[in-house]
Amino acid sequence: MPEGPEIHRAADQIAEAIEGEVMRDVSFGMSHLKSWESELAGATVTEVEARGKAILTRFDVGVAVYSHNQLYGKWYFRRAGHYPKTGRSLRMELRGETRSALLYSASEIEVLRPEEEPHHQYLGKLGPDAVDAEVTEEQVLEQLEDRRFRGRNLGGLLLDQSFVSGLGNYLRSEILWWAGLHPSWRPKDLDEDERRDLARWVLDVTRQSYETGGVTDCLQRVEDAKERGVPFRHYRHAAFARAGRPCPECGTPIEKIEVGSRRLYLCVPCQPPR
Segment (H or E) for 4: helix 4-18
Report CA torsion sign: 38, 42, 46, 52. positive
Residues found in the chain:
274
The single residue of 2, 5, 183, 187 carrying the catalytic annotation is: 2
Sorted by sequence, the CB contacts under 8 Å of residue 206 that are 6+ apart come out as 4, 5, 130, 131, 166, 167, 171, 175
The single residue of 3, 19, 21, 174 carrying the catalytic annotation is: 3
The single residue of 188, 226, 262, 274 carrying the catalytic annotation is: 262
- 262 tagged catalytic: yes
- 231 tagged catalytic: no
Distance CA 82, CA 32 (A): 25
DSSP label of 21: P
The single residue of 9, 51, 53, 195 carrying the catalytic annotation is: 53
- 2 tagged catalytic: yes
- Alpha-carbon dihedral 216, 217, 222, 228, rounded to 10 degrees: -120
* Cβ-based burial of 87 (10 A; exposed 0-12, middle 13-18, buried ≥19): exposed
Phi, psi of 167 (to 5 degrees): -80, 150
- 3 tagged catalytic: yes
Residue 55 · residue 11 · CB < 8 Å: yes
Residue 81 · residue 118 · CB < 8 Å: no
Where in the sequence numbering do the catalytic residues fall?
2-3, 53, 262
